[in-house]
Structure 1
């Protein structure tokens, strides 16, 4: 009698699907596949934009700040969208353009006790920058990259809007009327299960029309951890990541006609939980920035929260 043969086909099929999924993710990490990937939601990543490809990101923004210690009892809301277009010039060099479209409103109590709302809507100042990978270490299932970046914020937004009360406050204007250089460096470590990003940057805000925003220094960190599927297998259309980010931001005092404004600037730390759903070519994302610590100067207005939600895709 011939020996009895037992085939574990279901097991083999599951194993093949798991191996295929791991190989696909590993290939993407090693740069062998041009795919979308998890990334920070409040700052940039060091992962490359494939040569000759574009990446487009649209984030919808809602920000509220209302903790005003002054008698003016100010409440500020910002609603809008931030459009980002990136292009891979080479495997190491990518260039980006960022254009915000915003509606800003200020509820304020005037000195006579009257409560008024002041608003402005339009394109804000655009940001143009380049990012270059100076170091990368790729291996099966992981990659580590370091990429400095530098650019310029250009005065594309109106800086002289006015209403029935007169010219709007400089901080409510859509633009700054100044050309502001910035630079920094970002590092990314990505594996099959998670990604860690960290960045530091500094922006020099130059003089506008009798008003100068304070320089901004910031440090950012992000963890994206794969929540689903917990076990890799074939046929999964996408991956769900939990996101936790921290943003430490220091802003110097503003200047008005060459004199420091004592009610501006300070330090804020945001903690930002979020989610990302990542497929091969597109990403859905949402994050809430919550101020964990604020040490502002004088009567500078404190943030309540910021909500960002949007999408990203490669083409």
Structure 2
């Protein structure tokens, strides 16, 4: 049900640091430049410095096999998402994301035999811009509000076939449609913790007589510095504990202009994770656990989604 392969994230802005008694003062003034934790399942409002590049790679595994239909479907998705961000100006950043996905669907076919249908390859690209509309910086903390707007472009095949015929649209590598999306992100960061919240909406359009249901989501993230407990000179990095929540609602799909009663629904995910943050790179991992799912008809429910990855600031 959930299509969040293009979730985009940030890494620290690179600036010079100080040593000795001035360190804490500098950290207080440029906190987001030194040890910036960030959400792992959605975006943050913290900046990409002008002229800087951010590379992020995230590997994911998704399993969904709670099927109430006679087909006994079992969906597995393995993938990697490559994200590149660029600070065009002090307040404007541009992003692009390109996923590689390996999808496998096992189900009972005619006569009860077990069959497998699959696709693999690059998915549709997501391109968007994020602008810092409001910022309030002070020693030891920062608060930012940043709206974003973009489009998911049909850059990949959407008519793949196997020996059983054309693959179902959700199993295709690409959607074939131009799908605009947008939203707003709020971030509050201190030396010890960070809070992020996002509202996002994607309006999906029709292609190949199929239209994915529009998707709305509300996300929250809390990151807390576990180590070191006290700031000081000579610390190579920072370990953060992360807890995130994602409330996602998707409308029913449409096939040939008619709504598919076995698609869409509402899902709440709670996600614990860890991040190790340095000035130029981050290693991170998180497990998304469905705590409430209200899907329509026989739509599949997620069992678990895991994400691990890294970010590098240039």
| TM-score interval for Structure 1 and Structure 2 normalised by the shorter chain | over 0.9
CA distance in 1, matches of 2:113, 2:21: 68
Q: Which moved more, 1:158-167 or 1:193-202?
A: 158-167
Q: What stretches of structure 1 of length at least 5 have no aligned partner?
A: 1-15
CA distance in 2, matches of 1:57, 1:84: 5
- Superposed, which structure 2 residues align to 1:4-153 within 5 Å? 19-29=21-31, 34-35=33-34, 37-153=36-152
CA distance in 2, matches of 1:247, 1:304: 15
CA distance in 2, matches of 1:282, 1:240: 12
Runs of 4+ residues deviating >4 angstroms: 16-21
- Superposed, which structure 2 residues align to 1:290-309 within 5 Å? 290-309=289-308
CA contact (8 A) 1:132 1:147 kept: yes
Deviations 1:195-247 (A, max 9, x none): 00000011000001111000000000000000001112221100000000000
Q: Which residue of 2 aligns with 1:156?
A: 155
Q: Which residue of 2 aligns with 1:184?
A: 183
CA distance in 1, matches of 2:294, 2:312: 37
Deviations 1:121-149 (A, max 9, x none): 10111100000001000000000000000
Q: Number of paired residues?
A: 297
SS in 1 for 2:79: strand
**Alpha-carbon deviation of 1:25?**
2.4
Cα RMSD (Å) of the superposition?
1.4
2:257 matched to 1:258?
A: yes
How high is the TM-score relative to the length of structure 2?
0.92
**Alpha-carbon deviation of 1:186?**
0.1
CA contact (8 A) 1:35 1:314 kept: no
Q: Which residue of 2 aligns with 1:275?
A: 274
- Between Structure 1 and Structure 2, whose CA radius of gyration is higher? 1
**Alpha-carbon deviation of 1:26?**
1.7
CA distance in 1, matches of 2:274, 2:120: 29
**Alpha-carbon deviation of 1:113?**
0.2
Q: Which residue of 2 aligns with 1:7?
A: none
How high is the TM-score relative to the length of structure 1?
0.92
CA distance in 2, matches of 1:78, 1:158: 17
Deviations 1:236-266 (A, max 9, x none): 1000000000000000000000000000000
CA distance in 1, matches of 2:263, 2:128: 27
Q: Which moved more, 1:133-142 or 1:20-29?
A: 20-29
